[in-house]
Amino acid sequence: MARNVRHSARRRTGAHLYTQRTAVQASAPVGAHVYPVHSGLNSSGTFGKKSNKHRPRPLAPVLVIVAILLAFYFLGFAVFNFVVYPRSVLNGDDISLQPASEVASSVATSVANHVLSVSDSSGFSMEIKGSDVDLKFNDKAFAASIISQQNPWLWPIAVFSSHDIAPIYESSFDEDSLKDEVDSAVDSYNQKATQSTDATMAYDNTSSTFAIVAEKQGTALNSDVVEAQVSDALQVFDSTLVLTDDAYIHPSVTSDDANLQTAVSQANALLGATQSLTVGGTQVAEVTKDQLASWLTINDDFSVSVDTDAITAWAQGEFSSQLDSVSTTRNYTTPDGSSYTVSGGTYGWNIDGASLADSISSAIESGSAGTIEIPMKQTASVWSPGAADWGSRWIDINLTTQHAKLYDNGSVTWESDIVSGNSAKGYDTPTGVYSIDSYMTSTASSGSRVKLISPEVDAEGNPTYTSYVDYWIPFIGNLVALHDATWRSSFGGTIYQTNGSHGCVNLPASAAASLYSLVKVGDVVVVHD
């Protein structure tokens, strides 16, 4: 039973399908070819919903709009290649939508009579007229510079922004004329300006040290820098220029210069070379820090050197005048209590300034303090500045009393009246302190009398006199001497005033012989009034 049932079901199903086909076929004319009918197709052979796959789209309007926009964009691009963007400002002036060439022409007109006023904070002022320096303006380059500051490709965006145009000038002028104008003005100003001074070192007497003296900024101008700043201002057609600090002549050495600071340290180290100056072991002078400072020099390369020329000049000049006794005024007292003043002569202390300067220079350069025995060209018996430095032995010739004495250790060992030089004829015996020269001689020592020949000659060229003496004791070279004068019968008194010698000191023969036997070369002779 079950098996028949399943079969009946399949049949029903098949019968149903069959019935559908039969219905279609029944409606068709006899002999017509019958196709299966699908419920999704319409009479035209298509499905009930129409397809858009091959329907044409409306593109023409879009292309037209795009073409218009492109044309408008390129038109703007072309325009803004020579026209300034809207909302553009040049030097505070609105130049919106103006051709760049017209803007440049306007600027060219304004600079035709350009004048640049130059000043500084110290009173300098001058005016530069464009016509004086042949100032010229390149308007084409200026116009190009304006356009170069805007990008025409971006004009659709740029037109809605603000634009501050930075002027880029291209100018020219006669540089020689500008230099002449600036140099003349600056030179005139600098004549009254305060000059800058470099930092340097100086000696401070209070602290006895070298210290840095700070530089000082002046108001004098550097013509080259002024010219450069004026040139820059002219190139951009500025109407005013206030010079910057660079325009002043600045000190080339400042307080913080390392080389200067090193030089100060070196100089202070040399100040330690103070020296004690002695004569015979006794200190007679001192080279102090103050004095050392005057002999130190800072060179251009900031090295410190000892000025040996200055030391030599001091040793041979000022120092010698203080310590040399040759020809100086001396005050002394004779053993009998009489006081005298004598000046002049050739005897006394005479410093060897050159040798002393060398010793001092070497000591300073070593930086060591020490003691220097003063070298002498000539010495005396004792160190007694301003007094009798010839000791206790000397021949004292008093021209006023016309009397001479030989003092030896406080005693008079010889004395005699004399006749000195004829004062009426100007043959006065020279005053001063001398010593007996090596020319001393006598008849006994030479084998013949000493011949004296006058240095004066008569009209025929012959000496005015010729004399002979037995004892010749010279004290001024071989010209002035103590000697016997056998042609005289008297000595002393006032004979010398009208009948005196030619400058020598005349003695009686016996007195001359006695003196000759007592004295020796080097003994001091003091001649005074």
Residues of the chain with CATH 3.10.20.800: 260-378
Residues of the chain with CATH 2.40.440.10: 393-528
Alpha-carbon distance values, 47 to 54, 148, 393 (Å): 16, 66, 169
Give the SS3 label for residue 394. strand
Q: Could you give the CA distance from residue 513 to residue 472 in angstroms, rounded to a whole number?
A: 10
Give the SS3 label for residue 73. helix
**Which own/partner contact pairs does 188-193 have at CB distance under 8 Å and 24+ positions apart?**
189/123, 189/124, 189/220, 189/221, 190/220, 190/221, 193/122, 193/218, 193/219, 193/220, 193/221
How crowded is the C-beta side of 463, counted as CA atoms within 13 Å? 9
Q: Could you give the CA distance from residue 328 to residue 341 in angstroms, rounded to a whole number?
A: 10
Pick the CATH number of 260-378 from 3.40.50.12780, 2.60.40.10, 3.10.20.800, 3.40.50.2000: 3.10.20.800
Q: Could you give the CA distance from residue 409 to residue 236 in angstroms, rounded to a whole number?
A: 100
Predicted confidence at residue 464, as pLDDT, reads 85
Dmax (CA) of the chain: 218
CA 346 to chain centre: 49
Cβ-contact 160, 200 below 8 angstroms: no
One-letter amino acid for residue 499 of the chain: N
If we measure between CA atoms, which residue out of 270, 260, 252 comes closest to residue 298? 260
Q: What is the pLDDT along the chain (529 residues), one digit of tens a residue?
A: 333 333 333 433 343 433 344 444 444 444 444 444 444 445 444 444 555 555 666 788 889 999 999 999 999 899 999 999 999 999 889 999 999 889 888 888 777 789 999 999 999 999 999 999 999 888 888 889 899 999 999 999 999 999 999 878 788 899 999 999 999 999 999 999 999 999 999 999 999 999 999 999 999 999 999 999 999 999 888 999 999 999 999 999 999 999 999 999 999 999 999 999 999 999 999 999 999 999 998 898 889 999 999 999 999 999 998 999 999 999 999 999 999 999 999 999 999 999 999 999 999 998 889 999 999 999 999 999 999 999 999 999 999 999 999 999 999 999 999 999 999 999 999 999 999 999 999 999 999 999 999 888 888 888 988 999 999 999 999 999 999 999 999 999 999 999 999 999 999 999 999 999 999 999 999 999 9
Please tell me the chain's helix, strand, coil percentages from 3-state DSSP, rounded to the nearest 5. 35, 25, 40
Structure letter (DSSP) for residue 129 = E
Give the SS3 label for residue 353. helix
One-letter amino acid for residue 65 of the chain: I
Q: Could you give the CA distance from residue 329 to residue 387 in angstroms, rounded to a whole number?
A: 8
Kindly state which CATH superfamily the domain 393-528 is placed in: L,D-transpeptidase catalytic domain-like (2.40.440.10)
Q: Could you give the CA distance from residue 465 to residue 446 in angstroms, rounded to a whole number?
A: 22
Question: Which tokens sit at 450?
Answer: 């000493």
DSSP string, 17-42: HHHHHHHHHHHSPTTPPP----TTB-
